[in-house]
C-alpha cells in the first residue's frame, strides 16, 4: 500500500487530477441553489403561484408625498378645472410663451399662492409647488423657477433689507417679472470668468453696466425675450483707483438692472434685447440675450449682502477675499440645483407611470392557443422598467433628504452644512438628471410605436428635460466638484479633521473597506444575507472607498510630472466614476432610512422590496468591479443576478400600486396609452377614425 502511494499508477494520477478539476469547477460553477429551501423550482413556477404583497396605496402615498400634498392638490385642481390653461400638443413657440405666462399669472393671482415667501422661509413647500407646476408643463415650472427662485431668490438672498422692502412683494405678485442674467455667450460654468463689468462712478453715485465684447453678451436668459422687466445682472465690480490701472476688480457681484419701460414695455436706453429663438424644448420659456452699453443704475441697486461700496467709492465686506465672497454668493444660489434634482424626479415619476400603466394594459403574444399576455409579464420589459421604478423611489427619498438638509442650512447658516449642501446638491442634481434623461428614452421605447405619438408626452418630456443636464451647472463639472470634495474629506480623514455627516463613513469604516475582502462573506449567497441592508450599503461604500483611495494615489503620482491640472485631467474619468459611486451610496443610505422609518407595515414591506431591487440591481450592473477584487465570488454573483430577476418580478406584481402611490392626476399623466380602453377610442378619433 505504501509503495502504491509513493509510486501511483497512471490511472491513479488520472483519478486524482479528475477529482481536483471537479473540486475547482465547483468553486467556479457551483451547484445551483434555490432562493428558498422550500422552493427548488422557483425559476420555473408560473406567474400565478408567485406571492404578491398587499399594498395599501393611500397609506404609501401619504408617506411619500408628506405634508405638502394639499398644496399640490390645490395646484392640480386649479389646472384641471381650466382646460384652456392646459398645454395642447400642437402649439407654436409664441403661443406657448403667452400660454405659459397666463398659466403662471392665473395660478398666482387666482389661488393666492405666494411662492417667494417659501423660497426663503419654507423651501420644501416651494419645491413641492414647483414639482406640481412642472407636472402640468415643464416650461411653466422653469418659468416659475426663474421668477421666484432665480430673480426673486437673488434679491432675497444676495440683497439686504432695503432691497427686500422695495422688491419682494411686487416680485411675488408678478408685478415685477424678472430675469437672472449670469450666463454669457463665452462663459457658462466658469462664472468667475464672466466679462460684463459694472464700474462705479463716484461723481454721480452710480454704476455703469457694460458688455465689453460679443463674448460677454448675456445668453439664454429666461424671461428676457418677452416678459422680463428687471434682471439680476452678474458683473465684475470695478472701482476707480489712482494707480496706472485706473480701476480695481473686486470680483463678481449682482446688480438689479431695469430692462423695460413699465408702460411701453420697450427696452430702456443702452439695453439691447434679442430672442434666442426656437429651442429643442422648453419653448414656453422666453430665453433672450442682453447687451448693455453704458447703462447707469443707482449705487443702491448693488445687491450688497456680501460686499458694498460707500458713497465715496470705498469697498467694504465682512469677507476678506474675492474667492470667499464669490463662494458665499454662489452658496446662496445653490437652491436652484436642489430644485432641479427634485423636479427631475417628478419628471421620472410621470414617465415611469405612463410607461408602466401602458405595459400593464398592452397585451402582445402569449402561449399557443391562449390569450395574449401583458407585455409587463415579459422579463425584458421588467428589466427595462422595474429597476427604473425602484430607482425613482430611491431618488425620491434622496431628494427629500436633500431638501431637509437645505432647509436646515437656510435656517442655521451653519458653515459645515453649507459645504455639505453644496457638494451633495451638485452630485444629486448631476446623477439624477442624467439618469432621468436616459430613462425617458427607455420609457418611450418600452411603449413601442404608441410611445412616439406626441399626445403620449414622452417627446415633450424628453425634450423639455434634456437641458436639466446643463443648466444650474453642467453635470460633468458638478461631478468634479463632488470628487474634489471627496478628496478634501479623504485628506481630512488622515489629518484628524472633522468630516461632514454625509461623509462620515470615510472615517468610520475606511480601514475596513480598504482591507482585503473576507473570503467567507464573499461567498455567502443566502437570500437573507443578500437582502441585508448592511451587506448592500457596505458593498456600495467599499466600491467608493477603493475608488477614492486609488484616485488619490493616481493624482499624487501624475502631479509629479503633469502638475495639478494635468494630473486631474489624466484621472478625470476615474474621478467622475468616484463621484457617481459616492452619490449612489448616499442615495441607498437614505432609501434604507426611509424604509426603516415608514410607520405602515404594508408600505414598509413594499418599500423594502423596492429598495432591495435598487441595491442589488446596482451591484449587479457593476459586478465586474466586485469580481476584480474578489469582493463577490462567482457563486455569489450568480445568486445576486438570480435574486435581482426574482425581485424584479415581485415588484412587477405591485407595479400598479407603486405608480398609483405617486398620486398623479389624470390630466398630468394624460397620455391615452396610460389610461383605460375608452381613452384609446378618443386617441383613434383624434386622427380621424
Question: Which residues, in sequence order, are bridge partners of residue 574?
Answer: none
Q: What pLDDT is attached to residue 640?
A: 95
Q: What pLDDT is attached to residue 329?
A: 84
Given 184, 206, 472, 525, which residue is catalytic? 472
Q: What pLDDT is attached to residue 607?
A: 97
- Calculate the average pLDDT of the chain: 87
pLDDT (tens digit per residue) in 45-71:
333 335 678 899 999 999 998 889 999
* Cβ atoms of 141 and 130 closer than 8 Å: yes
pLDDT-based confidence at 139, cuts 50/70/90?
very high
Q: At what angle do helices 379-412 and 572-597 cross, to 10 degrees?
A: 90
Region 290-308: mean pLDDT is: 97
Q: Which of 404, 329, 547 is nearest to 68 (CA)?
A: 404
CA gap 351, 366 in Å, rounded: 26
pLDDT (tens digit per residue) in 553-569:
899 999 999 999 999 99
pLDDT (tens digit per residue) in 586-599:
999 999 999 999 99
Q: What pLDDT is attached to residue 254?
A: 96
Q: Which three cell numbers stand for residue 65?
A: 408625498
Q: Which three cell numbers stand for residue 393?
A: 423611489
pTM given for the model: 0.86
Q: What pLDDT is attached to residue 46?
A: 36
pLDDT-based confidence at 106, cuts 50/70/90?
very high
Count of CA atoms in the C-beta half-sphere (13 A) of 124: 17
Question: CA angle, 392 as apex, 388 and 395 as ends, to 5°?
Answer: 130
Q: What pLDDT is attached to residue 332?
A: 79
pLDDT (tens digit per residue) in 413-426:
888 888 889 999 99
| b/e burial code for range 396-413 (CB count within 10 A of at least 16 → b) | bbbbbbbbebbbebbeee
Sign of torsion, CA 135 140 142 144?
A: negative
Bigger pLDDT: 447 vs 665? 447
* Cβ atoms of 55 and 603 closer than 8 Å: yes
pLDDT (tens digit per residue) in 339-371:
999 999 999 999 999 999 999 988 888 888 888
Q: What pLDDT is attached to residue 43?
A: 31
Q: List, as residue ranges, the binding site for FAD.
A: 183, 222
Q: What pLDDT is attached to residue 231?
A: 98
Helix (H) or strand (E) holding 689: none
Lowest mean pLDDT among 79-93, 379-393, 444-458, 503-517: 503-517
Q: What pLDDT is attached to residue 24?
A: 39
Q: Which three cell numbers stand for residue 155?
A: 434679491
The number of beta carbons lying within 10 Å of the beta carbon of residue 461 is 22
pLDDT surpassing 70 at residue 573: yes
pLDDT-based confidence at 671, cuts 50/70/90?
low
Q: What pLDDT is attached to residue 476?
A: 95
pLDDT (tens digit per residue) in 477-506:
999 999 999 998 887 765 555 545 555 555
Q: List, as residue ranges, the binding site.
A: 183, 222
- DSSP SS3 for 32: coil
Residue 472 a catalytic site member: yes
Q: Write the DSSP assignment of 50-117 as a string of letters.
A: S------HHHHHHHHHGGGHHHHHHHHHHHHT-GGGSPPSS--HHHHHHHHHHHHHHHHHHH---HHH
pLDDT (tens digit per residue) in 426-468:
999 999 999 999 999 999 999 998 889 888 899 999 999 999 9
pLDDT surpassing 70 at residue 245: yes
pLDDT surpassing 70 at residue 676: no
Q: Which of 217, 139, 228 is nearest to 179 (CA)?
A: 228
pLDDT surpassing 90 at residue 1: no
pLDDT-based confidence at 385, cuts 50/70/90?
very high
Amino acid at each position: 500500500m505504501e509503495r502504491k502511494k509513493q509510486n501511483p499508477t497512471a490511472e491513479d494520477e488520472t483519478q486524482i487530477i479528475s477529482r481536483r478539476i471537479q473540486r475547482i469547477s465547483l468553486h467556479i460553477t457551483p451547484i445551483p441553489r434555490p432562493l428558498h429551501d422550500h422552493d427548488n423550482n422557483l425559476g420555473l413556477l408560473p406567474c400565478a403561484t408567485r406571492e404578491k404583497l398587499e399594498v395599501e396605496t393611500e397609506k404609501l402615498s401619504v408617506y411619500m408625498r408628506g405634508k405638502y400634498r394639499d398644496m399640490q392638490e390645490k395646484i392640480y385642481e386649479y389646472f384641471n378645472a381650466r382646460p384652456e390653461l392646459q398645454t395642447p400638443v400642437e402649439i407654436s413657440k409664441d403661443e406657448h410663451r403667452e400660454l405659459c405666462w397666463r398659466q403662471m399669472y392665473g395660478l398666482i393671482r387666482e389661488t393666492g399662492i405666494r411662492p417667494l415667501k417659501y423660497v426663503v422661509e419654507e423651501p420644501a413647500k416651494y419645491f413641492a409647488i414647483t414639482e406640481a407646476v412642472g407636472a402640468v408643463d415643464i416650461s411653466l415650472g422653469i418659468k416659475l423657477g426663474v421668477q421666484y427662485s432665480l430673480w426673486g431668490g437673488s434679491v432675497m438672498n444676495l440683497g439686504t433689507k432695503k432691497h427686500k422692502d422695495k422688491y419682494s412683494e411686487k416680485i411675488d405678485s408678478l408685478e415685477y417679472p424678472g430675469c437672472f442674467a449670469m450666463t454669457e455667450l463665452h462663459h457658462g460654468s466658469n462664472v468667475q470668468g464672466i466679462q460684463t463689468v459694472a464700474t462705479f462712478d463716484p461723481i454721480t453715485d452710480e454704476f455703469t453696466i457694460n458688455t465689453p465684447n460679443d463674448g460677454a453678451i448675456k445668453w439664454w436668459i429666461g424671461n428676457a425675450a418677452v416678459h422680463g422687466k428687471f434682471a439680476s445682472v452678474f458683473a465684475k465690480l470695478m472701482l476707480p483707483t489712482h494707480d496706472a490701472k485706473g480701476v480695481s476688480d473686486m470680483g463678481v457681484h449682482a446688480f438689479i438692472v431695469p430692462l423695460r419701460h413699465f408702460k411701453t414695455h420697450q427696452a430702456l436706453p443702452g439695453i439691447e434685447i434679442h430672442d434666442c429663438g426656437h429651442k429643442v424644448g422648453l419653448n414656453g420659456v422666453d430665453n433672450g440675450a442682453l447687451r448693455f452699453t453704458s447703462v447707469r443704475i443707482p449705487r443702491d441697486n448693488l445687491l450688497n449682502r456680501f460686499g458694498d461700496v460707500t458713497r465715496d467709492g470705498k469697498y467694504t465686506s465682512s469677507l476678506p477675499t474675492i474667492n470667499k465672497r464669490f463662494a458665499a454668493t454662489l452658496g446662496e444660489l445653490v437652491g436652484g440645483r436642489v430644485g432641479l434634482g427634485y423636479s427631475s424626479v417628478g419628471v421620472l415619476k410621470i414617465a415611469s407611470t405612463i410607461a408602466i400603466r401602458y405595459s400593464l394594459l398592452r397585451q402582445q403574444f402569449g402561449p399557443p392557443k391562449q390569450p395574449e399576455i401583458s407585455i409587463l409579464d415579459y422579463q425584458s420589459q421588467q428589466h427595462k422598467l422595474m429597476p427604473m421604478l425602484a430607482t425613482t423611489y430611491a431618488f425620491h427619498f434622496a431628494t427629500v433628504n436633500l431638501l431637509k438638509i437645505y432647509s436646515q442650512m437656510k435656517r442655521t447658516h451653519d458653515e459645515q452644512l453649507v459645504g455639505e449642501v453644496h457638494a451633495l446638491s451638485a452630485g444629486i442634481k448631476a446623477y439624477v438628471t442624467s439618469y432621468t434623461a436616459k430613462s425617458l428614452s427607455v420609457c418611450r421605447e418600452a411603449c413601442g410605436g404608441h410611445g412616439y405619438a406626441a399626445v403620449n408626452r414622452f417627446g415633450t418630456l424628453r425634450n423639455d428635460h434634456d437641458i436639466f443636464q446643463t443648466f444650474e451647472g453642467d453635470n460633468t463639472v458638478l461631478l468634479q466638484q463632488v470628487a474634489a470634495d471627496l478628496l478634501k474629506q479623504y485628506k481630512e480623514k488622515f489629518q484628524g479633521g472633522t468630516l461632514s455627516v454625509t461623509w462620515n463613513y470615510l472615517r468610520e469604516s475606511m480601514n475596513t473597506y480598504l482591507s482585503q475582502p473576507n473570503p467567507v462573506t464573499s461567498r455567502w449567497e443566502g437570500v437573507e444575507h443578500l437582502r441585508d441592508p448592511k451587506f448592500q450599503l457596505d458593498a456600495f461604500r467599499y466600491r467608493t472607498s477603493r475608488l477614492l483611495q486609488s484616485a488619490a494615489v493616481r493624482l499624487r503620482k501624475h502631479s509629479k510630472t503633469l502638475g495639478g491640472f494635468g494630473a486631474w485631467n489624466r484621472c478625470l474619468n476615474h474621478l467622475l466614476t468616484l463621484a457617481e459611486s459616492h452619490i449612489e451610496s448616499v442615495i441607498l443610505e437614505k432609501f434604507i432610512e426611509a424604509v426603516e422609518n415608514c410607520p405602515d407595515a404594508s408600505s414598509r414591506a413594499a418599500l423594502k422590496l423596492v429598495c432591495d431591487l435598487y441595491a442589488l440591481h446596482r451591484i449587479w450592473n457593476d459586478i465586474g468591479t466586485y469580481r476584480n477584487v474578489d469582493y463577490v465570488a462567482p457563486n455569489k454573483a450568480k445568486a445576486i443576478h438570480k435574486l435581482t430577476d426574482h425581485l424584479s418580478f415581485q415588484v412587477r406584481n405591485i407595479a400598479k400600486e407603486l405608480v398609483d402611490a405617486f398620486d398623479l392626476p389624470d390630466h398630468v399623466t394624460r397620455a391615452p396609452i396610460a389610461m383605460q380602453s375608452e381613452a384609446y377610442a378618443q386617441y383613434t378619433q383624434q386622427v380621424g377614425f
